[in-house]
Amino acid sequence: MRHHRRGAPGYFGTASVCPTVVIDETTALERIRQFQLPKLQIGVVGSLGGGGGSGFVGTLGVAVQTSNATDLSDLSGFAVFVGGSVGEAAGVGADVSVARTSDGRVIFAPSVGVSAGFRITPFPVAPAEVHGGLSHSSTVVVFDTDHLEDLLATMGLEYLVPTPGPR
């Protein structure tokens, strides 16, 4: 069933908890050449946000996001986002988040996803909506290869850490 309405824009809110993997591709090859593990972090990112949108939407979904973050902490803090979705009971959507790290780098994070729910939109041709706003994210690091050597040494297993050999 397609619903549409005329009139004022709506409000938009978002909440997410996402498992996250960050691999620093900028230093990975150099670290491997030096017989070191590439920087890899596994953690959780929690985010809350709000803003405005073109319709009234209630969905639950999954998305895949990529970014130019080189450290999980790059994903913490405030970000501006814009996006949209299309579909009736099931839909697809895309979003882009942009943030600035404490050292001034710009983090760009596009995502695409699928969802199920409802969309009441102002567009009579298609059940589509657009939205934008501000979000805040917090991160928790569960595993970090930069601390693996210290952990193995604490456990008496430092012999498992790769060391440079003759060249």
90-117 pLDDT per residue, tens: 889 999 999 999 999 999 999 999 999 8
| pLDDT at residue 120 in the model | 74
C-beta separation of 85 from 128 below 8 A: yes
Q: How far apart are CA 127 and CA 79, in angstroms?
A: 27
Which pTM does this prediction carry? 0.74
**Which 3 state secondary structure label does DSSP give 84?**
strand
Per-domain boundaries in the chain: 3-160
Q: How far apart are CA 60 and CA 52, in angstroms?
A: 18
